[in-house]
Structures are given as C-alpha cells and as structure tokens.
C-alpha cells in the first residue's frame, strides 16, 4: 500500500497569524507515524523530547532529543516516532532565508547556511552547543507567543532575525564524533533528574573520571557538570512556562533539591532567575 501523500505550503496546523511569514513556528507532539508531507518552506526542526525516524526521498535518519535538523524545501518527509516525540519547527520562507544568507559570512554555522546551496534532498542534522540550545528554545517560544497576538511587522521581523542570529552563532554547531561522548550525553539526557556525580557518570558510561572530563572538554567545550546544568535549566524553563508548578517543585522535578542552588544555576544559563524568566514570558504572552 502506498503511503499517504500530503502537499502543503504552510504548517499543517492552524496558525493564528499567517501573515507572520517569513517565519512561522509550530510545536507538535506525535505518537504515531505521519504521512508524507511536502513543504515549500525551509524547515528547521528541533527535537524537544523523544526520538523519531525521519524518512525522506533518498533514505532515513534517526533524530533524537537535542537534534536540530534542516529540511530542504520541495522534498517530502515523513516521521515514525519511537513512542512519543515532541518537536518545534520553524517554517522559513526560502527566498527570505537565501536573502539573509547573502549578508552572513560563509564561516558562520556551516551546518545550517552552508547546506542551503548544496544539491540533494537529504536533511542535515546538527547539534547545538549546550549554551546555544536554551537560546534556540527561547527564540522559538517567543515566536510561538507572538503568533497569538498583534505585533508590529518590524517587531516580528526583529524576532525572526533573533532566531537566525541564534542559528548562525559561530559556536552554535558542535560535532560529537566520539562514541563514548555520545553514550555519556545520552545517559545524562535520559536520566537528567538523578543526583549525578562525576564518579557515577563515569561508571555508567564505562569510562574513568579523567577520560570523561577530557572528552567532554574536547568535543563539547564544557565539563559534564556544565552540560547537566544546561540540560536541567532547559527542562526547568519548559516546566515554568507549560505548567503551574512552583519554582521549587519545577526545580525538584529536574533534579535540583535546593531551591537557592537551582535559582543560581538557572540564572547562569538564562541570565534571569526562574521567577523573572516566568514573568518575562507571561508578559509577552
């Protein structure tokens, strides 16, 4: 039986302000296979939680939490989640994106912009540094918020530019080429709420303390503790905006048992306390 084929030019879910193009953002949850979908826009998709097999015209790839994927326009894609997968996707007008790329040095984020002019239909997967990932989530969140409200065209455009700024930061893309690091990262992402120590992580990843510290510094430019702090802060930020949990309860759910420590750690990642972060986004909603 042939897979269902759907041709759409805009996101396949209602958007309150379609005139916000050149960029529209959609957050979606899937627990079953999706049909083939063809877009005229360029898609930048982030996997917020879970994993999925992304099929395309010349093959398939496995996308896991934390992956950011560039999907080229004019080619079909379909997804087959492993359980439940949550994604946030920016649908960017391709002409607009190419126009912006003219003014950005080719050395900036080659995983994204350098891939636009390459031939072929294969999607490009890259990972953002732990420092950049929260910035991307914040940029997505703001764009999701303004789609529900009246904002000036220039304000919309400035927020779109902010999204592109995050994606083209010189240290945005990282290459995790070492299988041992991939294994350790997967362990931390899957069990982020546990009371990790370096010794415990080393045992779980079957490495020595010195080896795991050295490999994190080499491939991710941060320590395992810094990686875990960014991951917990990212999860806590999502809880603050998507639930009615108190700051203390949100902190406990991501593995921080001391509220004062959680607030300091969160501020180091987002530049705001958890309370300030929640208020700032409530005001923009």
Q: Which residue ranges form the domains of the chain, and what is each CATH number?
A: 5-173 (2.60.120.280), 179-284 (1.10.10.60)
Write out pLDDT tens, residues 116-129: 555 556 787 777 77
Residue 137, pLDDT score? 83
26: phi then psi, degrees, rounded to nearest 5? -135, 135
Residue 186 makes CB contacts below 8 A (sequence gap 6+) with 64
Residue 73 corresponds to which tokens in the numbers above? Answer: 């326009």
128: CB partners within 8 A, 6+ apart: 66, 68, 136, 172, 173, 174
Distance CA 239, CA 95 (A): 36
Rounded average pLDDT per 10-residue block, the chain, 285 residues: 37 41 86 87 86 88 83 87 90 82 62 54 73 81 81 80 76 58 84 92 92 86 89 89 91 94 93 90 65
DSSP helix/strand/coil, 174? strand
And the tokens for 129? 């540094």
3-class secondary structure, 180? helix
Q: What is the mean pLDDT of the chain?
A: 80
pLDDT digits 0-9 by tens, 136-194: 888 888 888 888 777 777 887 888 888 888 877 655 555 545 678 878 888 888 888 99
Specify the pLDDT at position 169: 66
Q: What tokens does 107 get?
A: 């050395």
Per-residue pLDDT, 12: 39
Task: Please state whether the predicted TM-score (pTM) of the whole model is above 0.75.
Answer: no
Cβ(219)–Cβ(178) below 8 Å: yes
CA distance 232 to 81: 24
Tokens of 242: 């998507």
Q: Does an H or E element contain 23, and which?
A: strand 23-30
Q: Could you tell me the two tokens for 175?
A: 């290459």
**Burial (CB count <10 Å: 0-12, 13-18, 19+), residue 85:** buried
């Amino acid at each position: 039986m042939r897979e269902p084929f759907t041709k759409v030019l805009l996101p396949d879910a209602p958007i309150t302000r379609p005139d916000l193009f050149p960029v529209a953002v959609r957050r979606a949850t899937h627990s079953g296979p999706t049909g083939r979908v063809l877009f005229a826009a360029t898609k930048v998709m982030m996997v917020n939680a879970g994993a999925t097999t992304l099929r395309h015209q010349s093959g398939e790839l496995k996308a896991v939490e934390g992956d950011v994927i560039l999907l080229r326009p004019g080619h079909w894609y379909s997804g087959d989640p492993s359980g439940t997968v949550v994604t946030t996707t920016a649908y960017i007008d391709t002409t607009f994106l190419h126009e912006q790329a003219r003014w950005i040095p080719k050395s900036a984020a080659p995983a994204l912009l350098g891939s636009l002019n390459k031939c072929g239909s294969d999607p490009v997967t890259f990972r953002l540094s732990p420092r950049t990932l929260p910035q991307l989530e914040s940029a997505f969140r703001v764009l999701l918020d303004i789609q529900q409200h009246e904002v000036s065209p220039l304000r919309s455009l400035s927020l779109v530019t902010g999204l592109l700024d995050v994606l083209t930061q010189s240290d945005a893309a990282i290459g995790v080429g070492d299988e041992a690091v991939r294994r350790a990262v997967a362990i931390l992402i899957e069990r982020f709420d546990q009371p990790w120590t370096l010794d415990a992580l080393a045992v779980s990843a079957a490495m020595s303390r010195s080896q795991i510290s050295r490999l994190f510094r080499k491939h991710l430019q941060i320590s395992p503790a810094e990686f875990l702090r960014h991951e917990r802060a990212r999860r806590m930020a999502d809880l603050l905006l998507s639930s009615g949990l108190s700051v203390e309860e949100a902190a406990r759910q991501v593995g921080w048992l001391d509220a004062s420590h959680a607030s300091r750690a969160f501020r180091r990642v987002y530049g705001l306390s958890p309370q300030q972060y929640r208020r700032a986004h409530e005001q923009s909603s």
